[in-house]
Structure 1
Amino acid sequence: MGVKSIEIMDTTLRDGEQTSGVSFSASEKLTIAKLLLEELKVDRIEIASARVSEGEFQAVKSVTDWAAENDFLEAIEVLTFVDNGISIDWMKRAGAKVQNLLTKGSLNHLTHQLKKTKEQHFKEIKKSISEASKNGIETNVYLEDWSNGMRNSKEYVFDFLAFLATQPVKRIMLPDTLGVLAPAESFAFVTEIRAKYPELHFDFHAHNDYDLSVANAINAVEAGIDGLHLTINGMGERAGNAPLASVVAVLKDFMPEVEIGVHEKALNTVSKLVETFSGFRIPVNKPVVGDNVFTQTAGIHADGDNKNNLYFNDLLPERFGRKRKYALGKSSGKANIQKNLQELGLHLNDEDLKKVTQRIIELGDKKQLVTKEDLPYIISDVLDSNLIEETVFINSYVLTHSKGLNPSTTVSMTIKGESFEEHAQGDGQFDAFMNAIKKVYKRKDLELPKLIDYAVRIPPGSSSDALCETIITWKTNEEQFKTRGLDSDQTVSAIKATEKMLNII
């Protein structure tokens, strides 16, 4: 049997946008649409529902204008409704050429939601398809609640398919709308439909309510499906849709008999951009795109990676535009630390390496997050060495916060052996501290970088005495960089992050 090509349709901009609290602006939709088609190279994208709002109309218009100029118009799809031509009119004005018509794929939905007979429903669908054809619009048909239809009203589903087989429809789309299928059912249902209609094009659309969307999608492919609907980061309502990255990785690694055009190297870029635009955070342990999935924590793994890549599998980070990291914490061994030192271009003898390893284990025991960037400071701290020269020291400070009075700070610090003391007020204790530091630097005719972001976090579920990590982003004329501070007191952790910044500059 030859290699079969599977169409990948991304519905992040339509079904994915139904994630609670997510709404993309017109410019964000256009940016994501371009990346999906030009960089990630999916075959088609579903970008909106017809008739939603004026804002949505303008967003669709901007995507179709771009697509028309760049030969992608056939790849742009819009969800439409059986509504006497209102959706078709909306599509025409928006410049879209492919409708994904939403119809009822289960007798239950038809009877209780539409309160119509199947004859009435089919007649209206026929009219909608014919209206679309007249206006140069191609039709794909969604059988909403198809999975329950196959379970509870199979005769209705097959009557529906017999009717659609007589219509000028390009694709028939089979959604597990409520995410209820088990993988064996996905395989059985698609196999049954394929056997009866080998010539028609069928898509499968999985939801993830039981965390089975990837398995269901793969079973649909094994049963002979022609296309899959996926979303970036598994976005979608409730538990989301089948995640594109995971499905693509499984298809490429386990199913040599199928072929997809997706360009894996762009996955990380697109995933991060969608995360930023949507505010929908990717869990750190999410396969392929999660922050931690290419991070080895155990020292034994780093050691094995140094010895013929003993702990690698086929999911190499470079495939997806990423790099392997070696975490530093209480289970780190010398090998983890050596990997991080290599990346920083630093070398330690065995004795020194032992001491640094011990210090990192102690910090890991305290729940402290140790990063590659922290290594030089730890080395400097532990070895009292000259690897990194610390020339600025915050010797002591007094922070005051009294009701009815402005917060104030007195700071004593040393810069290259020269001592300074300043007092300042501010909007808060840290602001007062920064104002005092600025006074010192003004005396030396030096400028401080701008503080552009300030993030504080404690481990989830911690109590009020937890370690508190402050990450501050600074900006100079040339570059942007981050420093971290860790303490059980929030202001002190910010001061520690600032002291690191003062040494870096």
Structure 2
Amino acid sequence: MKPKDLDYMKLNGTPYFDESRWVSPLNYERDIQGENAKDSIYIHDVTLRDGEQTCGLTWSEDQRVRIGVALNDLGVKSIEVGMPIVSDENKRAIRRLVDMDLDSEIVPFARSLKKDIDESVDCGATRVVVEHAVNPYDNELVYGVSPEKLIDRVVSAILYAKEQGMKPTFMGWDATRSTPDYVLKVFTEVAKQAKPESIVFVDSFGVASPFAIEFIFTELRKAIPDIPLEFHVHNEFGLAMGSVFAAVRAGVSGIHSSINGLGERTGNVATEEVAAGLKLLMGIDTGVDLRKIGYTSRLVEDISKIPVANNKPVVGKRLFWVESGIVVDAIDKLNAAGINAAMTPYLPSLVGMGEIDVKLGAFSGQASIKYWLKRLGIQATEDQLEELTEIVRKEGRIRNTVLELDEFKRIVGDYMK
């Protein structure tokens, strides 16, 4: 059933509404999307590398392979699988994933050193991410590297990887704490001299605003028009998704992200948020099967033993709990009119998170009680409905939590005696 369009606002046939979602028409204004945004964006998932840098977390060989297979099934374009030089266990896992001939590209991670690249080649991989800090203070004080030596080191590493038959990506980290002129010089010289397959600009500490990210990617795209640009961002100030949208608006080709936002400190931008956000808010495809997001998130949560916050975007366990009687009443009426995503931006089934779950507690209304009585096959008069609602509300206030279904059955049973 489709809703009837109102004279002053159309829903049917619009890019912001369908049978499973209802988002803002503002997103689809051309001035908002930007002239440089691409129709599709690929995801380079870093759960197995940067995700493992979550303090206290390490993947076993089998866990790395299992998550890698799940990421492939999810539909990410490429999987950053870790550093083979770190351990034989890492190398075995990477080799196993390479030998599976998955749809996702298996991409080891390497410093700008020949020995790191050799280890990646030895795993059978054809892609590699070659990293180096670009911040001048990191290079001068930590690595003893001048700007000129930095460029020479990175260019030499990328050219060496190419000589070994690999397709290298250059990843310049701690880029946002450098001045724009310096950053542009480093990336432009690396692009001109080495021509990597792609270039990753990294906001390692999440310290650039989305406005700054749009600015720098606009400048990078002007300076390096022929090489795909990618964005890697951490979430120190809760701005990671905003920065992703800004980078996409400026013409970025790929986003680095991790399942459940795993990563150092506050973590990386979350793969599930990138995939759902770009598709549902901007109509931009990432290749990810949104219906498999819930399963993949729970798998990584179970293996990592790092619980996902109940209110985490896209995969939080309580995102689709509804307690308020006013909200349940609105859902009933909008659903009856053909609007399925009534009081949520999208249906939970769209991202593999089940169904809307009506809960009972201190803020329940008669619509909530009626909902559960109907499910239990119990009829009640208006007076009974009103009294049961007050009993449930009182019980919810006493318990300071929602009631389980068995508790509601007990309340109804005691009342109906």
- TM-score by length of structure 2 reads 0.84
The equivalent residue for 1:17 is 52
Q: Aligned partners of 1:294 and 1:156: how far apart in 2? A: 43
**Partner of residue 259 from structure 1, selected from 266, 276, 285:** 285
1:92 aligns with 2:121: yes
The Cα of 1:185 is off from its aligned counterpart by 0.4
Which one has a bigger Cα radius of gyration? Answer: 1
Task: Give the counterpart of 1:108 among 107, 112, 137.
Answer: 137
Matched residue SS, 1:47: strand
User: Which residue in 2 is equivalent to 1:243?
Assistant: 270
Q: Quick one: distance in 1 between partners of 2:224 and 2:191? A: 11
Q: Which moved more, 1:299-308 or 1:345-354?
A: 345-354
- Determine whether 1:209 maps to 2:254: no
Structure 1 residues 232, 361: closer, same or farther in 2, change over 3 A?
Answer: same
Aligned to 2:350: 319
Q: Provide the rounded CA distance (Å) in 2 between the counterparts of 1:19 and 1:345.
A: 48
**1:173 partnered with 2:200:** yes
User: Cα 1:13–1:360, aligned 2, differ >3 Å: closer, same or farther?
Assistant: same
Secondary structure at the aligned position of 1:56 is classed as helix
Residue 340 of structure 1 aligns with an amino acid whose one-letter code is W
Rounded Cα–Cα distance in structure 2 between residues aligned with 1:94 and 1:125: 22
Cα distance change, pair 368–206 in 1 and its aligned pair in 2 (3 A): closer
CA change 1:165–1:4 in 2 (3 A) is: farther
Alignment check: 8 A CA contact 2:38 2:248 kept: no
Please state how far the C-alpha of 1:248 moved relative to its aligned partner. Answer: 2.3
Q: Please give the secondary structure, in 1, of the residue aligned with 2:242.
A: helix
Counterpart in 1 of 2:173? Answer: 144
CA distance in 1, matches of 2:38, 2:83: 34
Shift of 1:354: 3.4
Q: 1:162 corresponds to which letter in structure 2?
A: E
Pick from 286, 291, 306: which aligns with 2:332?
A: 306
Paired residues for 1:44-443 under 5 Å: 44-66=78-100, 68=101, 70-72=102-104, 75-83=105-113, 85-149=114-178, 152=179, 154-155=181-182, 157-256=184-283, 258-309=284-335, 311-322=342-353, 323-366=355-398, 367-384=400-417
Residue 169 of structure 2 aligns to a residue whose secondary structure is strand
Q: Secondary structure at the match of 1:358?
A: helix
Shift of 1:229: 0.8
Q: Which SS does the other structure have where 2:234 is aligned?
A: coil
- How far, CA to CA, are the matches of 2:48 and 2:232 in structure 1? 15
* Distance in 2 separating the partners of 1:196 and 1:131: 24
Aligned-partner Cα distance in 2 for 1:273–1:105:
35
Equivalent residue number for residue 69 of structure 2: 34
Offset, 1:361: 1.4
Q: CA separation of 1:166/1:369 partners in 2, compared to 1, >3 Å: closer, same or farther?
A: same
The 3-state SS of whatever aligns with 1:146 is coil
CA deviation profile, 1:343-384 (whole Å, cap 9, x unmatched): 445544444433432332122111254123433233223323
Pair 196,356 (structure 1): closer, same or farther in 2 beyond 3 Å: same
Q: CA deviation at 1:254?
A: 2.9
Aligned partners of 2:243 and 2:415: how far apart in 1? 52
Amino acid at match of 1:62: R
Identity %: 28
Shift of 1:125: 2.3
Does the CA contact (< 8 Å) of 1:3 and 1:259 recur in 2? Answer: no
Give 1:422-501 correspondences, 5 Å limit.
none
The answer to whether the 8 A contact 2:310-2:318 is kept is yes
- Structure 1 residues 175 and 101, CA gap change in structure 2 (3 angstroms): same
Q: Secondary structure at the match of 1:203?
A: strand
| Deviates most, 129-138 or 235-244 | 129-138
Shift of 1:104: 2.2
Q: Does the 8 Å contact 2:155/2:193 carry over to 1?
A: no
| Residues 360-413 of structure 1, C-alpha deviations (whole Å, 9 max, x = no match) | 2122111254123433233223323xxxxxxxxxxxxxxxxxxxxxxxxxxxxx
Query: Contact (CA 8 Å) 1:107, 1:153: kept in 2 or not?
Result: no
Task: Specify the code of the residue in structure 1 equivalent to 2:54.
Answer: T
- Which amino acid in 1 is paired with 2:412? I
Q: Tell me: CA distance 1:308–1:96, structure 2 relative to 1, closer, same or farther (3 Å).
A: same
- Note the aligned Cα RMSD (angstroms): 2.1
Q: Runs of 5+ in structure 1 lacking a partner?
A: 385-505
| Preserved CA contact (<8 Å) 2:158 2:170 | no
The amino acid that maps onto 1:337 is: I
Question: Aligned partners of 1:381 and 1:135: how far apart in 2?
Answer: 76
Which one has the bigger strand percentage? 1
TM-score, with length taken from structure 1: 0.70
Most deviating of 206-215 and 286-295:
286-295
Give the 3 Å change call, closer, same or farther, for CA 345–92 of structure 1 in structure 2: farther
Q: Report if aligned partners of 1:355, 1:382 keep a CA contact under 8 Å in 2.
A: no
Q: Distance in 2 between matches of 1:3 and 1:173?
A: 17
Give the length in aligned residue pairs.
375
Q: Which has the higher contact order (CA 8 A, sep 6+)?
A: 2
Write out per-residue CA displacement over residues 227-260 of structure 1, whole angstroms, 9 at most, x where no aligned residue.
111111111110111112222232123323x332
Deviates more, 1:317-326 or 1:207-216: 317-326
Give me the whole-angstrom Cα distance separating, in 1, the residues matched to 2:139 and 2:401: 57
Query: Do 2:43 and 2:286's aligned partners in 1 also have CA atoms closer than 8 Å?
Result: yes
8 A Cα contact 2:231 2:244, kept in partner: yes
Amino acid across the alignment from 2:304: S
